[in-house]
Structure 1
């Protein structure tokens, strides 16, 4: 198996980029109320790259919650419209393969450095009826500098 090589990128620049992408996605939702989780980007190893253990990607998972499901649906629909307008390429749009068939959009940033996975979690019929718009922004693999 051929080992991949990764471009050397400034970790700070990539961390700022993933945070900017997340912030831009939040703006595209149009959400003004509700709550947003606040974890920052997490560095994770990328497998199959040389040099081993020095190639990472950043993963920033967060969500919007504490809103009526109908408001989350509107935010999800706003993302479907706004992402292409902002240069993001939607590469997948439809239900995931789970039993719940969760609506999911996967999109790539205009510069190709980031991908976003957006999921509309309808939990109205669950014991905990808190529905969520879950967003994960992931950077491409890069070698830390």
Structure 2
């Protein structure tokens, strides 16, 4: 890391080595919009009714190469499907198993979570874009927590265009 100045950013020659790919230069808003669209397609692929949380995707630091969030960034979109009938969760997960490959996703995990309740979990990577998603059908939860389907969608690292600050987008 280059520890001069206020930011600790890996030198460009090291970024590819650390990440295993060269981050695409992309405007933050464009990357956030793409993740929001992908989340919408995932919701549609579930094929059940419910109310999705209303939090948009947001840029954050690409910790591996730029923990100070000055040049490189990722876009995260954690959201949940609420007020869905827990009896429909198996249908949603089965729909995802069958529909994700047709939407360009490769399923990397399909099985119970490593937790007390062993709720179903699907993890996948989008083949062409490198986005990752973890989808959990939380039928059983501790205390008074209501059932939900939890989704965490994360982009690969991007590089902000020259002269822009991804933390201020």
For residue 81 of structure 2, the aligned residue among 51, 60, 64 is 64
CA contact (8 A) 1:102 1:119 kept: yes
Deviation at 1:110, TM superposition (A): 3.3
After TM superposition, the structure 1 = structure 2 runs for residues 49-88 of structure 1, keeping only pairs within 5 Å, are 49=65, 53=69, 54-88=71-105
- The alignment status of 1:29 with 2:46, answered yes or no, reads yes
Higher strand proportion: 1
C-alpha root-mean-square deviation of aligned residues, in Å? 2.2
Partners of 2:150 and 2:68 in 1: CA distance = 31
Q: TM-score, normalised by structure 1?
A: 0.86
Q: Which residue of 1 aligns with 2:61?
A: 45
Q: Which runs of 4+ in 1 moved over 4 A?
A: none
For residue 143 of structure 1, the aligned residue among 159, 162, 166 is 159
**Which structure has the larger Rg over C-alpha atoms?**
2
For structure 1, the residue ranges without an aligned partner over 5 or more in a row are: none
- The alignment status of 1:19 with 2:30, answered yes or no, reads no
Measured at CA, do residues 66 and 50 of structure 1 come closer, stay the same or move farther in structure 2, by a change above 3 Å? Answer: closer
CA contact (8 A) 1:10 1:144 kept: yes
Deviation at 1:56, TM superposition (A): 0.8
Q: Which residue of 2 aligns with 1:8?
A: 25
Partners of 2:137 and 2:29 in 1: CA distance = 30
CA contact (8 A) 1:76 1:133 kept: no
Measured at CA, do residues 123 and 97 of structure 1 come closer, stay the same or move farther in structure 2, by a change above 3 Å? Answer: closer
Deviation at 1:51, TM superposition (A): 9.4
Deviation at 1:139, TM superposition (A): 0.4
Q: TM-score, normalised by structure 2?
A: 0.75
Aligned residues between the structures = 143
